[in-house]
Amino acid sequence: MGEPVEPTAAQGNFRYFRNSPTEATLPLTNQPQPPQINIVVPLYNEEASFPELVKRLTALMDSEPLRITAILVDDGSRDATPRLMRQLALNDERFQAVFLSRNFGHQLALTAGLSYIDATEAVLIIDGDLQDPPELLGRFYTELKNGYDVVYAVREKRKENFVKRTAYNAFYKILKRISYIDIPLDSGDFSLISRQVADELNQMPEASRFVRGMRSWVGFNQIGIPYERTGRAAGQSKYTLRKLLGLALNGIFNFSEYPIKFITTLGILTISSSVIYFLVTLIKKLVYDTVPEGFSALLFVIILFGGVQLIAIGIIGEYILRIFFQVKNRPLFIVRHVIKNRQEQNG
């Protein structure tokens, strides 16, 4: 591993990406031409679907009249994924392998992959479990050529269980309602984005990342293409409930001021209701001369407002946490090492 070390995302500030070394590798006379398309795939314990993934990607690379390379990111897998990736990347220069130092989560693994792009035209983002069929590249690319900068996939049908589907639907509806950007309903990270958009994403230094929201935030010309989301090729979902909830919270708190405003609304509502209650009691006393009773009602109100206050603090806490992570200014992920052009390199 005595190879010269390329500067990477992990070593520096995100803002360096605009002049990333990848842009310096424009074709010199005898050098291989850079790819037109990068396919970025985050992988966490995907040994079961890996062979199928490679088969489909290779078939795509062979059939499309485009120069395509894949950037596979190992997100600290504990199974055979890193070994399989290594084998592949050492044998086929169209596959680049990026190994993270531990599990950083899907969004950061994706971010890591994006920091290694070198395609001249566009970047396709897919999941490693083949729920996002890479074969749609051709259709997406046509839209890119029609002048769109972001072509994202919209899930028409989901072959997931009822509870998960309902939860997803509810989440996307709420998000659409309350966020200050126009996040398209039911679109995931599966998309083809132009190199320019990818560079813009790489410029964004935010620590808590919700890539589909950031992708919408950047603007440009965007178009959604409906597709049927199939089940995974193999294995179980790598999103634990906790990770999924974290993703949902990032979507909401990173792109909405609504929760904070909601606290104020809640305050106004509770004050109004207490004023009404006070007036009712006063009238009862003056007109009917009855004294209010009700120990349990009192207890109920105290507990209710205790809860309301804790929720309000929790909401503020969510925003403060995000400030906390941001000001620490740590690198978003750490790259252990990279295999590119069939050569091992340090991160």
Binding interface with ligand UDP (CB under 6 A): 42-44, 46, 75, 103, 105-106, 109, 127-129, 131, 232, 237-239
Name the residue nearer to Mg ion (CB basis): 53 or 119: 53
Name the residue nearer to ligand UDP (CB basis): 58 or 103: 103
- Cα–Cα distance measured from residue 19 to residue 199, given in angstroms and rounded to the nearest whole number: 9
For residue 193, the minimal CB distance to Mg ion (Å) is 20
Is residue 61 within 8 A of residue 94, CB to CB? The reply is yes
Alpha helices, DSSP H, located in the chain: 21-24, 50-63, 81-91, 106-114, 137-145, 162-178, 195-203, 211-217, 241-254, 258-283, 295-328
Of ligand UDP, Mg ion, none, which one sits near residue 106, judging by CB under 5 to 8 A according to partner kind?
ligand UDP
For residue 91, the minimal CB distance to Mg ion (Å) is 27
Name the residue nearer to ligand UDP (CB basis): 73 or 143: 73
Of Mg ion, ligand UDP, none, which one sits near residue 95, judging by CB under 5 to 8 A according to partner kind?
none
For residue 214, the minimal CB distance to ligand UDP (Å) is 17
* CB count in 10 Å sphere of residue 223: 17
* CB count in 10 Å sphere of residue 310: 11
* Sheet-wide strand order for 187-194: 222-229, 150-158, 187-194, 122-125, 37-43, 68-74, 95-100, 335-340, 343-346
* CB count in 10 Å sphere of residue 306: 10
For residue 75, the minimal CB distance to Mg ion (Å) is 13
Of ligand UDP, Mg ion, none, which one sits near residue 109, judging by CB under 5 to 8 A according to partner kind?
ligand UDP
Of ligand UDP, Mg ion, none, which one sits near residue 239, judging by CB under 5 to 8 A according to partner kind?
ligand UDP
Is residue 86 within 8 A of residue 160, CB to CB? The reply is no
Is residue 195 within 8 A of residue 121, CB to CB? The reply is yes
Name the residue nearer to ligand UDP (CB basis): 100 or 121: 100
Residue with tokens 């209710």: 304
Name the residue nearer to Mg ion (CB basis): 187 or 256: 187
- Cα–Cα distance measured from residue 222 to residue 184, given in angstroms and rounded to the nearest whole number: 10
Of Mg ion, ligand UDP, none, which one sits near residue 189, judging by CB under 5 to 8 A according to partner kind?
none
* CB count in 10 Å sphere of residue 312: 17
Is residue 71 within 8 A of residue 41, CB to CB? The reply is yes
For residue 100, the minimal CB distance to Mg ion (Å) is 19
**How is residue 76 written in tokens?**
């600290």
Name the residue nearer to ligand UDP (CB basis): 171 or 239: 239
Residues in contact with Mg ion by the rule CB under 5 A: 127, 129, 131
Name the residue nearer to ligand UDP (CB basis): 106 or 195: 106
Of ligand UDP, Mg ion, none, which one sits near residue 120, judging by CB under 5 to 8 A according to partner kind?
none
Closest CA to 80 of 41, 112, 43: 43
Name the residue nearer to ligand UDP (CB basis): 46 or 186: 46
For residue 129, the minimal CB distance to Mg ion (Å) is 4
Is residue 188 within 8 A of residue 116, CB to CB? The reply is no
For residue 48, the minimal CB distance to ligand UDP (Å) is 10
**How is residue 22 written in tokens?**
């990848």
Of ligand UDP, Mg ion, none, which one sits near residue 105, judging by CB under 5 to 8 A according to partner kind?
ligand UDP
For residue 81, the minimal CB distance to Mg ion (Å) is 15
* CB count in 10 Å sphere of residue 87: 14
Of Mg ion, ligand UDP, none, which one sits near residue 43, judging by CB under 5 to 8 A according to partner kind?
ligand UDP
